[in-house]
Chain A
């Protein structure tokens, strides 16, 4: 497990643009979200080698477009790494309608599990329900 987490962390670091200095908040969010996603690996989920890092506040959620395949199962995982925050991850279809998913929420860490019936475009929404404006990291796992 540790090896997988380290490999995923290294892969995420690789994706960071060399022209942008990495902040402590980004490092914290990224390592925390990978720690959370590591729990799925025992069930055969593979962490996608890529991430989205952004700013979030109670008034400003972030929405990311993803293209998914029917038949696969996915977990979308996000964290700010800040203990006082409360984060929520939710999922929508290509028209913006909510879809059923399996939620997980624990303070600054949140996840949504989803098995699409149809391949195509979906949206992942990351919302800050409690806490000060923060940096978050979103990744996903699939199998």
Chain B
């Protein structure tokens, strides 16, 4: 915590130095708290948007790195089937593959980045959103060959957003939810796997995300009936109920090793179903 305060403090200093010439009323450097709690109405009417409310896998992975460099390659998985013609499955799969891309970047494994990139492109073609990915794939390959890991992280995030934008343009907005869910499930599988390798309380507490799962579930509930009847989507929806309970613990609770293992098994099971041949 003191280290984090130091980081924030440095940033505040950066702000002051950057803007001191132009700002006449500014404050930074002191910690404060807002005066009035939010009202019930304010809480009820708060906005939730995919672009800010759902963290990226990269954000999740950044948090687990704080305790030391994880063994990212241990979280690789065998290539998944991308032959499915089920668009819901393709969208979920795309989300898990983009998370795989983040893992390869964290592992500083250029070849794996390129391998995952090929699968992402293949799935994007099948979902008719390949143009947006094609534009990024060349730079992803180049960054991977140049070991430009920070830029790769940015490219992956941009790729995910461009896929979602293209789905929106194609009037496939319902599939955007599934891409986000796929990414979160695979991210949870990976983070729980890493926590289990070197169990400690700080890392285990990262898994507290009740509102996030609730938000994703509410988006699933609002999908059109046709997609909701998809057997895989039904499985995901049902299993998310269980997962929601596992990540809904109080802020002062530390999940036990057994609890982390249960969550890892649940996320792994779903990831396998999403990547299974049709």
Residue of B nearest to A54 (CB): B47
Interface membership of B265, Cβ < 8 A: no
Contact of A11 with B47 at beta-carbon distance under 8 Å, contacts A73-B8, A106-B26, A120-B211 already known: no
Contact A65 B63 (CB under 8 A): no
Interface membership of B12, Cβ < 8 A: yes
Identify which of residues 1-60 in chain B touch chain A, using a CB-to-CB cut-off of 8 Å. Answer: 1, 4-5, 7-12, 14-15, 18-19, 22-40, 42-43, 45-56, 59-60
- Taking CB atoms, residues of chain A closer than 8 Å to B75 are none
Pick 14 A–B contacts, CB within 8 A, sort by A: A14-B165, A46-B150, A46-B153, A52-B52, A70-B202, A71-B64, A71-B206, A72-B59, A75-B11, A98-B37, A100-B31, A106-B23, A107-B25, A114-B8
Identify which of residues 144-196 in chain B touch chain A, using a CB-to-CB cut-off of 8 Å. Answer: 150, 153-154, 157-158, 161-162, 165, 168-169
Give the top 6 A-B pairs by smallest Cβ distance, nearest first.
A50-B51, A96-B38, A121-B211, A115-B4, A90-B34, A69-B63
Contact B37 A111 (CB under 8 A): no
Interface membership of B261, Cβ < 8 A: no
Contact of A48 with B12 at beta-carbon distance under 8 Å, contacts A91-B34, A92-B38, A121-B212 already known: no
CA of A100 to CA of B30 in the docked complex: distance in angstroms?
10
Point out the residue from B154, B169, B207, B212 that lies within 8 Å of A7, measured CB to CB: B154
Contact A67 B211 (CB under 8 A): yes
Residue of B nearest to A72 (CB): B63
CA of A98 to CA of B4 in the docked complex: distance in angstroms?
19
Contact A102 B8 (CB under 8 A): yes
Residue of B nearest to A3 (CB): B151
Contact A73 B7 (CB under 8 A): yes
Residue of A nearest to B56 (CB): A48
Contact A69 B165 (CB under 8 A): no
How many whole Å from B27's CB to the nearest CB in chain A?
Answer: 5
CA of A113 to CA of B207 in the docked complex: distance in angstroms?
22
Contact A119 B8 (CB under 8 A): no
Chain A 1-43 against B: per-residue CB contact (8 Å), 1 yes, 0 no? 0000001000100110110000000000000000010011011
Contact B53 A64 (CB under 8 A): yes
Identify which of residues 46-95 in chain A touch chain B, using a CB-to-CB cut-off of 8 Å. Answer: 46, 48-52, 54, 61-73, 75, 86, 90-92, 94-95
How many whole Å from A83's CB to the nearest CB in chain B?
Answer: 10
User: B interface vs A, CB < 8 Å?
Assistant: 1, 4-5, 7-12, 14-15, 18-19, 22-40, 42-43, 45-56, 59-60, 62-64, 66-67, 150, 153-154, 157-158, 161-162, 165, 168-169, 202, 205-212, 215, 251-252
Contact B32 A101 (CB under 8 A): yes
Point out the residue from A15, A65, A102, A143 that lies within 8 Å of B165, measured CB to CB: A15
Residue of B nearest to A139 (CB): B52
Residue of B nearest to A97 (CB): B37
Contact B51 A121 (CB under 8 A): no
How many whole Å from A4's CB to the nearest CB in chain B?
Answer: 8
Contact B211 A63 (CB under 8 A): no
Contact of A98 with B46 at beta-carbon distance under 8 Å, contacts A42-B14, A48-B56, A119-B205 already known: no
Given contacts A71-B206, A92-B38, A105-B26, 17 further A-B contacts (CB under 8 A): A7-B158, A17-B168, A63-B45, A65-B211, A69-B59, A70-B63, A72-B59, A75-B8, A96-B37, A98-B35, A103-B28, A106-B19, A106-B25, A111-B15, A113-B12, A115-B8, A121-B212
- Taking CB atoms, residues of chain B closer than 8 Å to A70 are 63, 202, 205-206
- Taking CB atoms, residues of chain A closer than 8 Å to B210 are 120-121
How many whole Å from B136's CB to the nearest CB in chain A?
Answer: 10
Residue of B nearest to A44 (CB): B7
Contact of A71 with B11 at beta-carbon distance under 8 Å, contacts A115-B5, A118-B208 already known: no
